[in-house]
Structure 1
């Protein structure tokens, strides 16, 4: 077990990219009165990226090991997202935030597995969806950022 400065620099840059791609989503989700996203979503992305980096560098040719790690990441992120969902007086709140948390995990995994193109698309589509579709909120909620 040695210290590799070049690998460290690569990993720091990779995790920073995952953070940067999830940050706009977290920023948008963090604007509501009951925000969850400003810090949570980038941390979910970097954690998922970390898991992907570990499995990619320790077992790059072992698809079964990668699948098990990804399954655990997806399950864990689903659990975190489930905590963002609240039912109040017959209304369900937090579904968009929960979906964004799940997407932040996918962004982190994509970056960690060197699929930057997928991560960029996921981030851009998530942010654009949050920004543009808020104007078409069918329920007419006063604060669409609470979804």
Structure 2
């Protein structure tokens, strides 16, 4: 009986150890896969674009992105809606920008809505000598319901 018990538990420990090792390998592969996807996804962002960062070498990228996002979001307080959205007021509702992605040293893409309609706008930005930021609308699109 003792031999049977020893044999059973020895095989069980070996089986569980092998199972844990397989799970670790699978987990490492999954983490590597998602890390690669994250790097690929961040390619079209200022944070992931070394060339654009080199162009902005005099600026802290994180502070610049934060400043850009804050300035765009502050424009949502306009009673007529965010002026960076070309559509004004529709159905008595103003458009505001919800999400912002700084693509590189010159372009931004933003998602906007008025609660019923949604769209995206491509913006161009410039950092002026006084460190202020100006924005130009390149193109926007409004999705149909």
Could you tell me the TM-score, scaled by structure 2's length? 0.28
The structure in which a higher percent of residues are strand is 2
Larger radius of gyration: 2
The structure in which a higher percent of residues are helix is 1
